[in-house]
Amino acid sequence: MGAGSSILGADGEWGETSLGDMPESCVAAVLLYLDPPEICQVARLNRAFRGAASADCVWAVKLPANYRYLAALAAAADDEGRGEGDGNGKRFSLAATKKEIYARLCRPTLFDAGRKEFWILKNKGGLCISVSSKAMTITGIDDRRYWSHLATEESRFHSVAYLQQIWWLEVDGELEFCFPAGSYSLFFHLHLGRPYRRMGRRLCATEHVHGWDVTPTRFQLSTSDEQQVTSEYYLHLHEQGGWKLYHVGDFVVSNSDEPTKLKFSMMQIDCTHMKGGLCVDSVFIYPKGYKPEKANIVCM
């Protein structure tokens, strides 16, 4: 089936039409059914598709319901020099087109003094959030006998909290944010062993890893509207010394315009034995059902 067809003109002569002859409004109606990456691909077909692919009516339905709230955070971060702009040094503006707003929200935005970060997924526009270990309350974090901060490119925040050994492990965090309505999953991003690089190779030091197979570690999540969930896991060393996402639980947001307050924690307070060799990177919040590429997810 070809891209063109024959029509009978006013002068009685048959002519050829193509996709380029379609009105932009018709093209835009079709693009509403495509995901953002597909819209960007078909924009290369011709002028009509290119114009429709930039229309606000197409991108408005792809944006999160509370995109104005997210865009305001992104604009503020750019003004403070903590955002990524548009990749060309141009600062983001709330007066941007819907397509420009979508593109900006796909790039990470730091907030809370750079200790937290949000972005939306390119394919579906779902909101993701990461909370650094530096934004959490960790028992004994200032005592160098127990904890230290390691610089690493394996963290979105370029730093992780490393536990050498301790009797009482407790990590607590909070987040208050306007989530788009929907269901979300919360994970702790952890690593047994200390990752490092030598001569370009990634290695993992495991001499401090002990005590995690005696008693399970408890993870908890609660919300301001009284949703609560608890999960327990024995922490096991990854075969290749890699990171794991420990699924704490899910929560539901019904109102995009009201902030939801989350409290989350992990603890292992069995003082009959010591434990150590643990890297605490961050907490991740993803749309429920989303699985990051190459992620090692641990669920109950």
Does residue 179 lie within any of the structural domains?
Answer: yes
Nearest to 222 by CA among 231, 233, 209: 231
153 and 47 fall within a common domain: no
The pLDDT score that the predictor gives to residue 5 is 47
CB–CB of 115/157 below 8 Å? yes
pLDDT of residue 51: 85
Indicate whether 134 and 277 sit together in one domain.
Answer: yes
Quote the percentage of the chain above a pLDDT of 70. 88
How much is the pLDDT for 1? Answer: 38
DSSP assignment letter at 238: -
Taking the mean position of all CA atoms in its chain, how far away is CA 248? Answer: 16
On whether residue 261 sits in a domain, the answer given is yes
- 3-state secondary structure at position 40: helix
- pLDDT(67) > 90: yes
Decide which of 144 and 94 is more confident: 144
**Residue 78, SS3 per DSSP:** helix
What are the pLDDT digits (tens) for 219-265? 999 999 999 999 999 998 765 568 999 999 999 999 999 999 999 99
Residue 21, SS3 per DSSP: helix
pLDDT at 2 over 50: no
Domain that holds residue 211: 127-287
Share of the chain above pLDDT 90, in %: 63
Q: Answer yes or no: are the C-beta atoms of 56 and 95 closer than 8 Å.
A: no
Work out whether strand 159-163 and strand 147-151 pair parallel, antiparallel, or are unpaired: antiparallel
State pTM to two decimals: 0.87
Is the distance from CB of 52 to CB of 27 less than 8 angstroms?
yes
pLDDT score recorded for residue 54: 87
CA distance linking residue 108 with residue 157, whole number of Å: 11
- Are residues 99 and 107 in contact, defined by beta-carbon separation less than 8 angstroms? no
Domain identity same for 54 and 158: no
Q: Are residues 143 and 283 in the same domain?
A: yes
Mean residue pLDDT of the chain comes to: 88
Q: Residue 236 sits in a domain of what CATH number? A: 2.60.120.260
| Measured distance CA(117)–CA(123) in Å, rounded | 19
Mean pLDDT of 136-141: 96
d(CA 279, CA 192): 6
- Residue 47 phi/psi, 5-degree rounding, is -65, -40
Q: Is residue 132 part of a domain?
A: yes
Which tens digit of pLDDT belongs to each residue from 9-20?
555 554 565 555
271 and 138 both lie in a single domain: yes
Lowest-confidence segment of 96-100, 154-158, 188-192, 234-238 by average pLDDT: 234-238
Q: Tell me the pLDDT band of 33, cut-offs 50, 70 and 90.
A: confident
Predicted local confidence at residue 187, as pLDDT: 98
Per-residue confidence band for 90, with pLDDT thresholds at 50, 70 and 90: low
- For the ranges 60-69, 104-113, 231-240, the lowest mean pLDDT is seen at 231-240
| 199 inside domain | yes
Statement to judge: residues 138 and 39 lie in one domain: no
Number of domains in the chain: 2
| Cβ atoms within 10 Å of 262's Cβ, excluding its own | 22
Whole-number pLDDT of residue 11: 56
List of residues 6+ apart from 154 with CB closer than 8 A: 160, 191, 195, 243, 281
